[in-house]
Structure 1
Amino acid sequence: MWSPNSKQKKILLFVCMLCVLFYLNHKYNTPMTLDLRHADVHAQCVIPEIDPFDKELTKLDKHPKPPTCSESMSLVFIDMNGYIQFNTSSFALNKLSKSEVVCSYRPVERSGGDDDVILKPEVQFTEPEYIESDVVVASCLNKKAKLIYQSVLTNIDFRTVLRANKIKMASPNQFNVILFGIDSLSRTGALRKIPKTMKYIQNDLGGITFKGYTKVGGNTFPNVVPLLTGRRADKEDLGHAWGQEYYDEFPLIQYNYSSAGYVTNFAEDWPYFSTFNYLSNGFKVQPTDHYLRPMYLTMKKLAPVSTSLEQVSLYLEDKSIKVMPSSLCYQNRIKHVIFLENLKRFLKGYKSQLKFSFSWMSELSHDYPYYLEIADQDFTDFLRWMKIEGHLDNTILLFMSDHGSRIDDLRNTPAGRIEARMPLLSIVLPEHFKKEHKHLVQTMMENTNVLTTAFDVNAMLGDVLHKNFDQNRKTTKPRRGISLFEKIPKERTCANASIAEHFCPCFVSKSTNIDSPDVQKIVNFSLERINRMLDKHRTVCVVLALSQVRDAQLIVSSFKRYETKKTFTIREFFNTPVKDQNKYTILFETAPSGALFEVTAHIESDGEVYFVGDITRTNRYGTQSQCIADKYLRNYCFCKK
């Protein structure tokens, strides 16, 4: 039988063992991000094609439940026209009458910079009242003077701005610009996590999505600075503005739009890690007419403990530990919905005026990228609202990101390495722009399949500002980049696109033996597929045979592992990172049609052939396929005589 002293020793030994295991886990089982760099940034870029539902990615995916918010009552709200009002349904539900409740609001102002706010004297109200502030703290007391409601409310005080500034009215040849960004989201990640949104952008809004859009920096700051300035985030490009205490002297493009008569808006949803505030002081002077940061600072000011613990709560939620209310909520509302509502207010308040907005969401996607899917329907509804209400009639919308997911487990897969380097960029153009400037739209479409960066987007935003749309448009010469309205060379390399070896995503192609077993297997499999597609038309289409293989290219990743210091981890020992698959791009000719087909494919370890995209015909079929009506199959059919 154990003595009390022995029991204590046993407990102490158990605790010591736990500590040792924790230490070993931390030291040797910590995920290791592989540093893979491009071996030749001067090589012509082959834009990588990856499957959004690659098995190495989907097995790491999660599908979180929607957050559960507080059931607290909202006794007052600010309507879309800027009036604070009583929430009559909430009063009725809580069996309250206006006569027994005293409600007031306190306007909020910035205090000497980006890190603090002050609450002005409270104002009592009994009837709807226009709020001359973008943020207020509303509160209500009962008959016993007990606080029964308090909340931070956001608003767009458009009246004050219109009185103080000469904002120009919108016109058919001068376009609004709305930049809506989501942190850490690749193009293929968007197809996986917000499929409804991407489908709506593509099918209903006619959005143009750029397959070659590539980051130029590691995290948000060095990617957003080029977007908003056209310059690299370094002293060489930014000169005296670099290294200042505040970012007010950065040549941000919203200042140019403001000088041209646009009303401007700047909103980020994560004040602790905002682009210009993380480990920095942000702006001394408010950078735009409307600025959402004070709302989040006020939330923290009123509830410093709970807001400080939000990331801890989100970590617990990620581990399937239910937290009430969710850290993704503010009181009884989901925070990303409040964020979208703020942009709605801006668009509605200035529907007839020229406007520029930069909105950037981070909290939902930065640390736990799979949480983004809970906003898919809300994004879709917001875009649908923009279309129905006419806010896209004269607006160029950029739905985009800064980089893909940088989470270790995702990033260490072959597909994840590409995703980390290739963020989302979809651009929606007004319908009348598409009709009047078809040449620019065609050029932009062609540019979707070449290497592009934030420098190019900035150059395009300059063209929009200066109405540089004519057929014989002036070729802009920005410090870096080429406008997306100009033809970008297919031969563009990472080096001449200002993409460093750390971030270059390109594959390179090398000639390979056309008689190799892999090439022959892919060609034969491609011919079988073409002939199977034509089975229903066999009475009129001949069976195609191989005439010759014209060319075969081996598509390989030029990523080379780079390490200054090798760190051993147990995880790495048991889980060797998956290697890239070699892909082939093959051009072959068929008989008797003389048709040229190009196919990109790879062979799996089980011997199966997997295609990347379609088998594409590269020469015209003319009258060869006039015996069938199917537009797609006409590319393949050779009619019998």
Structure 2
Amino acid sequence: MFVLKNKTPFKYLRINRNSVFALCFVFLLLFANFRYNQPTQFRFSHSNVSGVCTLPDIDPFDEEIMKFNWHPDPVVCDDSPPFMYIDRKGFIHINTTTVKKLAVGDIHCSYQHVERHEDDDVIFKPEMYVTKPEYVDSDFIVARCRDRYKKVLYENLLINVNSRPVLESRNIRKESPDRMSVLILGIDSLSRNSAIRKLPKTMKYVEDVLGGITFKGFTKVGENTFPNLVPLLTGRKADPKELPHVFDEAYYDSMPLIHHNFSRAGYATLYAEDWPAFSTFNYAANGFKIQPSDHYIRPLYLAMKKLQPLTTSLDQVLLYLEDKNIKLKSSSLCFQGRLKHLMFLEYYKRFVDSYKNEAKFAFTWLNEISHDYSNFLEIADHDFVQFLTWLKMSGHLDNSVLVLISDHGSRSEAIRNTVAGRIEVRMPLLSVVLPGRFKQRHPDLIDTLLQNTKVITTPFDVHAFIADVLHNNFDQKPLSKKDGKLAREISLFRKIPKERTCTDAGIHELYCACFTSTRVNVSTAIVTEIARASITKINLLLARVKDKCAELTLSTIKDAQLIESNFKRVVEYEKFTLRNFIFQPEQDRRKYLILFKAAPSNALFEVTASVASDNAIDLGDILRTNKYRDQSKCMVDRLLRNYCLCV
């Protein structure tokens, strides 16, 4: 017995040692995976930020990008009918149709004002029972209905815009062709190319119906949202050197937001940004002590969290599962039966409607639906079109400038580490819609805007553009230089020189997306091969009409340019991971721009071609650069007219 008693502890100790060793090994593997096996994220900088810029022309449907593109199913939220609603005039009602349909008798409905408490909390005020329609003097309320046993049958957040205090206490001016409103709709992490992929209906409506102008050279000036929105809203760099008084304080109240300029000029103002934990001025910061605008959406999202603390805390986890196509009972993009982005757009609509014909400035920014998982954005495509259609049909764009904008492209490592993704992350969306009467009065300014779509532009320039709208400043004076340099901030209404460089525009080498071109000897083998391949492609296009059009041959090559991205990998900016060590980033393909003449038509053609490492050629569109005049009079097809020499 004595021996057994002595052996048992040693046996127990030996088992424990093995368990401890195994446990330590598992923890070591987990640590190694967490520390060294993170998703690959390569960093690149531009090696020639002072060179003349050639804007990159990247296919929105590049095959490497399309590997990560998929179409989510439409999101259907819980469609339980509402017991209460607030009409457009701000009066609350009990929905008698719903009550009768559900055969609910003896119910009692009430609401609580949602009151902002500094910038990170809300208070629900005492309940007020509804006996008849009454005006709601709050932007957001918690609405509830109970049965005779006090059981809650309905609970939801309702949206209003309480404009009365603003209109009574301030001299809000009337909007007019000389005092235009500004309506900004911002969408996080959306490149111009991604907008073409994920918001095709929206972009078609903006450009084809509203006559919007989309800027192909719009470039970010910082890594994430904050350093791109600060220049947009203040005209200054998000840097303690340029905003020392702001960065020395606990709150951002002294940030010189352009909202305040509009407010002082007699405009009603709105600042709406969803996803409160990651809002621009609240992420790792305190936000605003005093509400930054007349109307402010943040209390709505804080109230969501207060009503449903568990589900709102799990939203990002659930959205991750949805991104992996794991079906859930209800999408995390919903709140109480409604898509959250629709609630956002409803608040926007109510603001615009409440101040109809009044001068107003609205800055809105959607984060959650696009920030981490870009594919979900297409869920909102139809809703954006409906919102824009409503703006147009209701006359809200008659005296308003509409700006659709983003801060950067997708920062997801999977997309960002492709060649196309490296460009897209640097080049966000910017589209501008101007009133029809403004276009008629200022055709020269429209020409300038169109020219500026083909040069580098930045959030600094958009700030100057918005300021010009505020001050009704449309005088096209020549650009002045200081110490021989162009100003960092140039309004989109001013002609921006084609020679503008990333350095001129205040774009750091990490964010410059410009390509540069170098002249190549026209007799180089690859150049000749590209020109001949282009002639072959043209003749294949003409093959079905060879009875009408002559076969073309290569006459001369007039010019050849090698187009390079100038991206160089910067290892010191990267965290070491096993994947970074094992895998290598995709290499840029060589691009050539070739100008050549064909015989016997003497047609001049321009083609851009990508060349892989094995010299495989991928031809882009072949564009005719001189007029065909009567050469193609026998041809009806618009495309073939460019190539056909009638026989």
Establish whether TM, by shorter chain, passes 0.5.
Answer: yes
Q: Provide the C-alpha distance between the structure 1 equivalents of 2:587 and 2:405, rounded to a whole number of angstroms.
A: 29
Deviation at 1:396, TM superposition (A): 1.2
Question: Deviation digits for residues 129-179 of structure 1, max 9, x if unmatched?
Answer: 221111111112211223322222221112222112211112123221111
Q: Identify the residue that residue 616 of structure 1 maps to in structure 2.
A: 623
SS in 1 for 2:241: helix
Q: Identify the residue that residue 158 of structure 1 maps to in structure 2.
A: 163
Q: Which moves more between the two structures, 598-607 or 225-234?
A: 598-607
Q: Which moves more between the two structures, 38-47 or 319-328?
A: 319-328
Q: Provide the C-alpha distance between the structure 1 equivalents of 2:626 and 2:588, rounded to a whole number of angstroms.
A: 31
Q: Which moves more between the two structures, 505-514 or 403-412?
A: 505-514
Q: Identify the residue that residue 249 of structure 2 maps to in structure 1.
A: 244
Root mean square deviation of aligned Cα: 2.7
Equivalent of residue 74 in structure 1, options 59, 67, 82 = 82
SS in 2 for 1:110: strand
Q: Identify the residue that residue 7 of structure 2 maps to in structure 1.
A: none
The 1:565–1:394 alpha-carbon spacing in structure 2 relative to 1, beyond 3 Å, is closer
Deviation at 1:273, TM superposition (A): 0.7
Question: Deviation digits for residues 538-589 of structure 1, max 9, x if unmatched?
Answer: 4554333322111111111211111227765443455432111111011112
Aligned positions of 1:261-410 closer than 5 A: 261-410=266-415
Equivalent of residue 221 in structure 1, options 221, 226, 229 = 226
Gaps of 5+ in 1: none
Q: Identify the residue that residue 558 of structure 1 maps to in structure 2.
A: 566
Contact 1:523 1:588 in 2 (8 A): yes
Contact 1:231 1:479 in 2 (8 A): no
Q: Provide the C-alpha distance between the structure 2 equivalents of 1:609 and 1:354, rounded to a whole number of angstroms.
A: 55
SS in 1 for 2:219: coil
Q: Provide the C-alpha distance between the structure 1 equivalents of 2:575 and 2:411, rounded to a whole number of angstroms.
A: 19
Gaps of 5+ in 2: 1-10
Say whether 1:200 aligns with 2:205. Answer: yes
Q: Identify the residue that residue 529 of structure 1 maps to in structure 2.
A: 537
SS in 2 for 1:109: strand
Equivalent of residue 107 in structure 1, options 113, 132, 142 = 113
Say whether 1:594 aligns with 2:594. Answer: no
Question: Deviation digits for residues 506-531 of structure 1, max 9, x if unmatched?
Answer: 11111222222221121112222333
Q: Which moves more between the two structures, 87-96 or 626-635?
A: 626-635
Q: Provide the C-alpha distance between the structure 2 equivalents of 1:348 and 1:395, rounded to a whole number of angstroms.
A: 13
The 1:65–1:4 alpha-carbon spacing in structure 2 relative to 1, beyond 3 Å, is farther
In structure 1, what residue type is equivalent to 2:257? Answer: L
In structure 1, what residue type is equivalent to 2:113? Answer: P
Deviation at 1:349, TM superposition (A): 1.4
Aligned positions of 1:159-198 closer than 5 A: 159-198=164-203
The 1:11–1:126 alpha-carbon spacing in structure 2 relative to 1, beyond 3 Å, is farther
SS in 1 for 2:347: helix
In structure 2, what residue type is equivalent to 1:611? Answer: L
In structure 1, what residue type is equivalent to 2:289? Answer: K
Say whether 1:504 aligns with 2:521. Answer: no
Q: Provide the C-alpha distance between the structure 1 equivalents of 2:84 and 2:481, rounded to a whole number of angstroms.
A: 51
Contact 1:230 1:479 in 2 (8 A): no
The 1:474–1:176 alpha-carbon spacing in structure 2 relative to 1, beyond 3 Å, is farther
Q: Provide the C-alpha distance between the structure 2 equivalents of 1:149 and 1:233, rounded to a whole number of angstroms.
A: 45
Contact 1:186 1:405 in 2 (8 A): yes
Contact 2:418 2:586 in 1 (8 A): yes
Q: Identify the residue that residue 636 of structure 1 maps to in structure 2.
A: 643
Equivalent of residue 39 in structure 1, options 38, 43, 47 = 47
In structure 2, what residue type is equivalent to 1:485? Answer: F
Say whether 1:488 aligns with 2:496. Answer: yes
Question: Deviation digits for residues 161-206 of structure 1, max 9, x if unmatched?
Answer: 2112211112123221111011001011111112221122222222
Deviation at 1:50, TM superposition (A): 1.1
Deviation at 1:320, TM superposition (A): 3.3
Deviation at 1:631, TM superposition (A): 5.0
Q: Deviation above 6 Å: which 4+ runs of structure 1? A: 3-17, 471-479
Question: Deviation digits for residues 288-333 of structure 1, max 9, x if unmatched?
Answer: 1111011111222223232222222222333333333322111111
Structure-1-length-normalised TM-score? 0.92
Contact 1:439 1:471 in 2 (8 A): no
Q: Provide the C-alpha distance between the structure 2 equivalents of 1:72 and 1:22, rounded to a whole number of angstroms.
A: 44
In structure 2, what residue type is equivalent to 1:468? Answer: N
The 1:633–1:433 alpha-carbon spacing in structure 2 relative to 1, beyond 3 Å, is farther
Q: Provide the C-alpha distance between the structure 2 equivalents of 1:392 and 1:616, rounded to a whole number of angstroms.
A: 36
Contact 1:511 1:552 in 2 (8 A): yes
Question: Deviation digits for residues 439-483 of structure 1, max 9, x if unmatched?
Answer: 111111111111110111111111111112356799899963111
Q: Provide the C-alpha distance between the structure 1 equivalents of 2:409 and 2:561, rounded to a whole number of angstroms.
A: 28
In structure 2, what residue type is equivalent to 1:186? Answer: S
Question: Deviation digits for residues 328-359 of structure 1, max 9, x if unmatched?
Answer: 11111111111111111111111211111011
Q: Identify the residue that residue 240 of structure 2 maps to in structure 1.
A: 235
Say whether 1:64 aligns with 2:72. Answer: yes
Contact 1:325 1:331 in 2 (8 A): no
Q: Provide the C-alpha distance between the structure 1 equivalents of 2:451 and 2:346, rounded to a whole number of angstroms.
A: 35
In structure 2, what residue type is equivalent to 1:160? Answer: P
Q: Identify the residue that residue 92 of structure 1 maps to in structure 2.
A: 100
Q: Provide the C-alpha distance between the structure 2 equivalents of 1:633 and 1:305, rounded to a whole number of angstroms.
A: 62
SS in 1 for 2:465: helix
Say whether 1:462 aligns with 2:467. Answer: yes
Say whether 1:146 aligns with 2:151. Answer: yes
Q: Provide the C-alpha distance between the structure 1 equivalents of 2:202 and 2:322, rounded to a whole number of angstroms.
A: 25
The 1:35–1:474 alpha-carbon spacing in structure 2 relative to 1, beyond 3 Å, is closer
Q: Identify the residue that residue 5 of structure 2 maps to in structure 1.
A: none
Q: Provide the C-alpha distance between the structure 2 equivalents of 1:548 and 1:127, rounded to a whole number of angstroms.
A: 84
Q: Provide the C-alpha distance between the structure 1 equivalents of 2:565 and 2:273, rounded to a whole number of angstroms.
A: 36
Question: Deviation digits for residues 231-276 of structure 1, max 9, x if unmatched?
Answer: 1111222242333222222221111111222111110011111111
Q: Which moves more between the two structures, 495-504 or 150-159?
A: 150-159
Equivalent of residue 435 in structure 2, options 430, 435, 440 = 430
